[in-house]
Amino acid sequence: MQNSKTKIKTLRLILGDQLNNNHSWFKTVDANVTYVLMEIRSETDYAWHHIQKVAGFFAAMQQFAKELQEQKHHVIYVKLNDKNNLQAFDKNCKALINKYQFTEFQYQLPDEYRVDKHLKTFTANLAISNQVVDSEHFFSTRTELGEFFKGKKTYLMESFYRYMRKKHHILMDGNNPLTGKWNYDEDNRKKLPVTHKATSPFIFSNNVTEISNELKKANIKTIGNIDSKNFIWPINRTQSLQLLDFFVIECLPLFGTYEDAMTPNEWSLYHSRISFSLNTKLISPIEVINKAIDEWKKRPNEIEFNQLEGFVRQIIGWREYMRGIYWQKMPEYATLNYFEHQNKLPDWYWTGKTKMSCLKHTIHQSLEYAYAHHIQRLMITGNFALLAGVHPDEVDKWYLGIYIDALDWVEITNTRGMSQFADGGIVGTKPYVSSATYIDKMSHYCGGCFYKKSVKTGDKACPFNSLYWNFYDQHKDKLAKNPRIGMMYNVWNRMEPKAKSDLLQQAQYYLEHINEL
């Protein structure tokens, strides 16, 4: 038998987005294995985060550490203001290795390029043995999307989505989609009826006052609001599963129908709001999908297939696809600026103090709840930033900071790619811009707005209208040949010279006075 003195003593690092208690690491309790979680400045300070985001991560980490300890695992938890906290993964791990004489270091594959590079550098210089293992969370590997699209110029999400459905036998009948049709997106674009009252959101009342006080003590710069005695987001697996149950029972029957709808009176609608739980790995994508499918099987007359398919596509389609793009294209992806936009983000993105109703409501909601759904992000805040020629770095910074579910791997591909078309078409086949017409079609924002949705120039003209045509005019060299938007150039080219000139002058005025809008 091996002498106990020669046994390997292992330190295992758990990141704040690796709170997966079903990971194989935790199947057995080993006295020679110690887990470490840490609250550090390198993570609170690399972006200007919403206070609910920081509090949510720290609360979930603390709960996870407590659960591991209850299962008899050895855990070291480094709090933000601990006197021995060196405020970085490498420095803290090195200090612990020296102090407790660990002979091996292990960590799970990080989801962020920044952290991945940091830990690779750290382990390359370690004197003890080290190992990196999979996080055991995603449907695909880091390199799978790149291998799937090898030799192809475009990375069509729909193709990858179908491949993932087939590979994992999800909603399939052999090699064919269960209903004979892959995608029901056209059924999921309805405006919320004026008199419709959505299901009240399921929220929690977690007390994170201690964490909030620690953030103040450390002078962590945050944005947004928090009720620290009634923190509404799930902070452990039990709560995450409760939120998932609520979604499939109460919201899934109308999820698809109204997933693109927007209203100033509802902030949650029929969305699942489980992305924070998913991105911290408190729950897994396979159990999320299975739960939704099981509920559909129980209530096929209440849950139409388009509701289910739209949700499944978000999880196994978009989420996996965006991660694949991230690992295929980083770090260069973070520097792409196809339109060479240089403008600053308007000041009111940080306050919500604008006269444009759609932006006012979406930004206020984001500051209040650290949340907005995908169409609010894409077609309100993202749409305006693109029309205003804002530098993608500015847009990335805002999205990464303000939303509780925003981690670099999922944020940057959605923002710089899908929203800002800064990648020149890697993610999306066209820029997602619109005038007031689309916003009015999908929302109830325009009715109470200071600006007039149908007015293009002059007093109280909706800024989206002139900025929309200005965008196409500014970028015709890069966009005119795009088959998906050629029709807009046909419309633009047929306009009278005076009408075009008036629109461009109006847009220029708004761009020069953007902080006053």
Task: Name the CA dihedral angle for 319, 322, 327, 328, rounded to a multiple of 10 degrees.
Answer: 140
The 3-state DSSP class for residue 270 equals: coil
Which range has the worst mean pLDDT, 52-66, 291-305, 352-366, 474-488? 474-488
What are the pLDDT digits (tens) for 425-474? 998 889 999 999 999 999 999 988 999 999 999 989 999 999 999 999 99
Please say whether the beta carbons of 35 and 73 come within 8 A.
Answer: yes
Residue 1: per-residue pLDDT = 35
Confidence tier at 75 by pLDDT (50, 70, 90): very high
Which range has the worst mean pLDDT, 151-160, 230-239, 449-458? 151-160
Please say whether the beta carbons of 434 and 468 come within 8 A.
Answer: yes
What region does 193 belong to: left with phi over 0, alpha with psi -120 to 50, or beta? Answer: beta
Distance CA 249, CA 178 (A): 22
Q: Please give the DSSP secondary-structure letter assigned to residue 479.
A: H
The 3-state DSSP class for residue 35 equals: strand
Confidence tier at 2 by pLDDT (50, 70, 90): very low
Residue 356: count other Cβ atoms within 10 Å of its Cβ. 23
Q: Which CATH number fits domain 347-516: 1.10.579.10, 3.40.50.10320, 3.40.190.10, 3.40.50.10470?
A: 1.10.579.10
pLDDT at 190 over 90: no
The token duo for 101 is: 């004489």
Q: What angle do CA 80, 78, 114 make, to 5 degrees?
A: 75
Is 6-133 a domain of CATH 3.90.25.10? no
The 3-state DSSP class for residue 333 equals: helix
Distance CA 60, CA 39 (A): 11
What are the pLDDT digits (tens) for 327-369? 999 999 999 999 999 999 999 999 999 999 999 999 999 999 9
Which residue has better confidence, 273 or 151? 273
Which residue has better confidence, 363 or 487? 363
Q: Please give the DSSP secondary-structure letter assigned to residue 476.
A: H
Which range has the worst mean pLDDT, 36-40, 231-235, 362-366, 424-428? 424-428
Q: What is the pTM of this model?
A: 0.93
Under CATH, what is the fold of the domain 144-205+236-329?
1.25.40
Region 178-196: mean pLDDT is 84
Please say whether the beta carbons of 464 and 435 come within 8 A.
Answer: yes
| Domain extents in the chain | 6-133, 144-205+236-329, 347-516
Residue 114: per-residue pLDDT = 95
Look over the chain and give the mean of its residue pLDDT values, rounded to a whole number: 94
